[in-house]
Amino acid sequence: MFVICIQVTMILYEVLRLYPPSIHFSRKTCKKVLIGDKRYPAGMMIELSVLLMHHDPDIWGSDVHEFKPERFAEGISKASRNSGAFLPFGWGPRICIGQNFALAEAKMAICMILQRFDFVLAPSYTHAPYTVVTLHPMHGAQIRLGLI
């Protein structure tokens, strides 16, 4: 049961890597700041693209666009060449306070579904992720459920 729970966590992490609901963060500098070797004045808007970081082959490897939950087998810090590159829940003082709740809820929902059903994508499904506030499937995600 413990192994299955770890596998479900790996699958959820890989889904959140490929399709992070929040694809970018915005921050405004309130005073002059130095980030790396660059200086920014006060009042600058800075955009951090989570989507680009999660899809960067220099960070994740040449298989970056493939769905490979096993990359998280040894945890988040060993999944990529940059341990801070996985940001589905943000980072720092404004990190998502609901992340543990969200992951626990997703695991419970998946486990309850898998106890009763198997499922495959319906033929009508078209893969078209797009963003309106959060990233989600443009035409929905139709699945075909089968009673076990």
Binder of ligand HEM out of 18, 19, 21, 85 (CB under 6 A):
21
Check: CB of residue 84 under 8 Å from CB of residue 53.
Answer: no
Interaction of residue 98 with ligand HEM, rule CB under 6 A:
yes
Interaction of residue 135 with ligand HEM, rule CB under 6 A:
no
Q: Residues 137, 140, 145, CA angle at the centre, nearest 5°?
A: 125
Interaction of residue 22 with ligand HEM, rule CB under 6 A:
yes
What number of other Cβ atoms are within 10 A of residue 44's Cβ? 12
Q: Where does 19-80 have alpha helices with state H?
A: 50-54, 57-60
Nearer to ligand HEM, 93 or 123 (CB): 93
Q: Give the DSSP H or E segment for 34.
A: strand 33-35
Stretch of 35-43, 55-63, 96-104, 117-125 lying at the interface with ligand HEM (CB under 6 A): 96-104
Q: Is 96 annotated as a binding residue?
A: yes
Nearer to ligand HEM, 95 or 120 (CB): 95
